[in-house]
Amino acid sequence: MRLPPRRAGTRRGVARRGLTASLAGAPPAGTAGGAPAPVSPTRPGPVRDTGVTRGIQGRGCRVLSVFMKLAFSTLGVPGLPTADVLRLATAHGYHGVELRAHPEEPVHTGLTPAERTEVAAEFKAAGIEILSVAGYTRVAAPGEDEAVIAEIRALLTLARDLGAPYVRVFPGGSPDQTPEEADATAARRLGTAAEHATDAGVRILLETHDSHRTGADAMRILGLVGHRQVGAVWDVMHTWLGGEQPVESHAALAPHLGYVQVKDIASAEDTTPLALGEGILPLADCVEILSRHGWDGWLCWEYEKRWYEKAAPLPDLLTPGRAHLSRLLNDSA
């Protein structure tokens, strides 16, 4: 993600073919005439070790168990009304949405209690989860602590009201700070905010980004905080741009990992968002490592349309993107 304009045993499945059928929307093997079975309106959810699992085909289908859920960020559909976001998620088979919390978006900290209730009800009715409230707080930035902590508290309250489990924040350290100063500033603020997070039942997740773009960078802060309500978002683009290999990023972040942001770009010099699988980022390696370690969290596609107006519209890419992630999950099984 890019900042706003001032920005500077292992749980595996047993039939690979079934996973592709489940997630890519293809009819499962053995369906008469190749026609899909009747589709249940129930949304697919997380699946555990059961004999009969759920996939895109509906409840009760015998398909490969899926342990990672898929979401997309509203950064890819800037300003789109919540109802339309939900229609996209439902139509293209995504389990959840990362909501960008910004005044130019339908969801932000200025919503009234009634508006928050309405948004939560819309998501519940659609069977789509709110993965995270993605804020823009810079926890390592120079300045007074009070304003930063107040901003985090507002995000935590919004997430609690919407039923979201996570709030995303940025490091946002300054070149004028030493790394030690930035680390200490961020850790102090996150440690204070963690108590509010406990009360709200929401985790604060520090994204690998800007001044702390690698897993090792983020761990310097998280290690100082040492609180279970403070974790990490692994943005696979930023760790790669920081020169870190996926295995290194995972090793650093795994104890604190909330969810993973996936995306694709052409090169380190050209970070215009591309369809998943069309760029250079090591998505297959990331998914393979997560799968090998039995991780059952979220993969969230953060398509940075907001910052790249000439990028292709995200809605046209959602189904191919889901299919690509499905293939990666299948190959890692």
pLDDT at 67: 76
pTM greater than the 0.85 cutoff: no
Written as one string, the DSSP assignment of 30-81 is T-GGGPPPPPPSSPP----S-SS--BTTBTT-------SEEEEEGGGSTT--
Q: Where are the beta strands (DSSP E) in 67-221?
A: 69-73, 96-100, 129-138, 166-170, 203-207
Task: Break the chain into its structural domains and give their ranges.
Answer: 10-33+43-65, 68-332
Q: Residue 83 and residue 138: Cα distance in Å, rounded?
A: 30
Residues of the chain with pLDDT under 70: 1-66
What CA–CA distance (Å, rounded) separates 179 from 129?
A: 36
Instruction: Please measure the distance between the N-terminal and C-terminal CA atoms of the chain and give it in whole angstroms.
Output: 29
Tokens found for residue 242: 């920081």
Neighbouring residues of 290: CB distance < 8 A, sequence distance ≥ 6: 68, 250, 260, 297, 332
Q: CB–CB of 220/179 below 8 Å?
A: yes
Q: Dihedral of CA 317/322/323/329: which sign? A: positive
The candidate with the shortest Cα–Cα distance to 299, out of 17, 16, 3, 23, is 23
Burial class for 297, CB neighbours closer than 10 Å (0-12, 13-18, 19+): middle
Contacts of 13 (CB under 8 A, 6+ apart): 19, 64, 65, 66, 333
Asked if 86 contacts 128 with a C-beta cutoff of 8 angstroms, the reply is yes
Other residues' Cβ atoms within 10 Å of the Cβ of residue 316: 10
Amino acid in the structure at residue 151: E
Neighbouring CB atoms inside 10 A of 188's CB total 17
The whole-number pLDDT of residue 276 equals 99
User: Which two structure tokens, joined as six digits, stand for 55?
Assistant: 């996939």
The class that CATH gives domain 68-332 is alpha beta
DSSP 74-112: GGGSTT--HHHHHHHHHHHT-SEEEEE--TTSS--TT--
